[in-house]
Amino acid sequence: MELSRHGYADAPVGEAVPYSSSAEQDALVFTVNGREERLRVDPRVTLLDALRERLGLTGTKKGCDRGQCGACTVHVDGRRVLACLTLAVAVRGRSVTTIEGVSGHPAQRAFVECDGFQCGFCTPGQIMSAVAVIEDGRARTDEEIREAMSGNICRCGAYPNIVDAVQTAMNQDERAASTGDEVVRDAVV
Ligand code: FES
Ligand code: FES
């Protein structure tokens, strides 16, 4: 295909111009919940869309799609990231953990026990943040937990119960650590 002097392919108005680059040709290889995945994706595809639409991992939610609600929170190499603001190609060779990968973590049980949700749409992102906050270990008081979880918006206003859930999970996690019980952590499977 001929490129114009601006680098755009010449095509009739209204006709989609297929995007192509050398990066698109390379398979994207990364680990999701302990399993190696290999995808061919357009370099503009977000990690959120790659997870949901290419890998069928629909537990990670698309709320605002612009970095403001936290519904799409996942972990990359153990750190919280917003999947809607992360390009899929940016996780090449990295380890991604989604809500499907923390099944059985105390945070999941605590959200149920403490009624930490109403409609549940924000809950996967809340739990992924809660797991990171518990692993980090710096937030101890309700106030500190609220601050650490402030990037996760709950339109149902379940905040008091969410804080209770994080406290409960933190206590269970510590009890398990002191007794040597196995606790499901990041990147399990
Ligand atoms: S969907 Fe990513 S922050 Fe809202
Ligand atoms: S439980 Fe409905 S948005 Fe949080």
Residue 16, classed as helix, strand or coil, is coil
Q: Same domain for 105 and 131?
A: yes
Domain contains 186: no
Tell me, what CATH number does 62's domain have? Answer: 3.10.20.30
Q: Same domain for 117 and 70?
A: no
Tell me what pLDDT residue 163 has: 98
Ligand 1: atom nearest CA of 151 is 3
Ligand nearest to the CA of 80: 1
Range with lowest mean pLDDT among 37-46, 79-88, 164-173, 176-185: 176-185
Kindly report the backbone phi and psi dihedral angles of residue 14, in degrees, each rounded to the nearest multiple of 5, phi listed first.
Answer: 95, -10
Domain contains 44: yes
Q: How confident is the model at residue 152 (pLDDT cuts 50, 70, 90)?
A: very high
CA of 92 to the centre of ligand 1 (A): 21
Tell me what pLDDT residue 183 has: 55
CA of 73 to the centre of ligand 1 (A): 7
Between strands 95-97 and 73-76, the pairing is: antiparallel
Q: Same domain for 109 and 39?
A: no
Q: Same domain for 68 and 134?
A: no
Q: Same domain for 63 and 129?
A: no
Domain closes at, from 96, 119, 137: 96
Ligand nearest to the CA of 153: 2
Q: How many domains does the chain have?
A: 2
Tell me, what CATH number does 156's domain have? Answer: 1.10.150.120
If you take atom 3 of ligand 1, which residue's CA is the nearest one? 67
The mean pLDDT value of the chain amounts to: 86
User: What's the pLDDT tens digit per position in 39-48?
Assistant: 999 999 999 9
CA of 10 to the centre of ligand 1 (A): 35
Q: Same domain for 142 and 79?
A: no
User: What's the pLDDT tens digit per position in 47-81?
Assistant: 999 999 999 999 999 999 999 999 999 999 999 99
Ligand 1 pocket mutation, candidates 72, 76, 86, 155, criterion most atoms within 8 A of CB: 72
Domain contains 110: yes
| Ranges of H-type helices in 9-158 | 22-25, 47-49, 106-113, 123-136, 142-148
Ligand 2: atom nearest CA of 156 is 2
Tell me what pLDDT residue 123 has: 98
Range of the domain at 133: 101-179
Q: What angle do CA 19, 24, 28 make, to 5 degrees?
A: 150
Q: Same domain for 87 and 130?
A: no
Domain contains 135: yes
Domain closes at, from 96, 114, 141: 96
Tell me what pLDDT residue 52 has: 98
Domain contains 172: yes
Domain contains 80: yes
Contacts of 141 (CB under 8 A, 6+ apart): none
Domain contains 5: no
Domain contains 151: yes
- Contact between 73 and 81 under an 8 Å Cβ cutoff? The reply is yes
Assess whether pLDDT exceeds 90 at residue 87: yes
Ligand 2 pocket mutation, candidates 112, 117, 129, 159, criterion most atoms within 8 A of CB: 117
Q: Same domain for 109 and 155?
A: yes
Q: Same domain for 113 and 80?
A: no
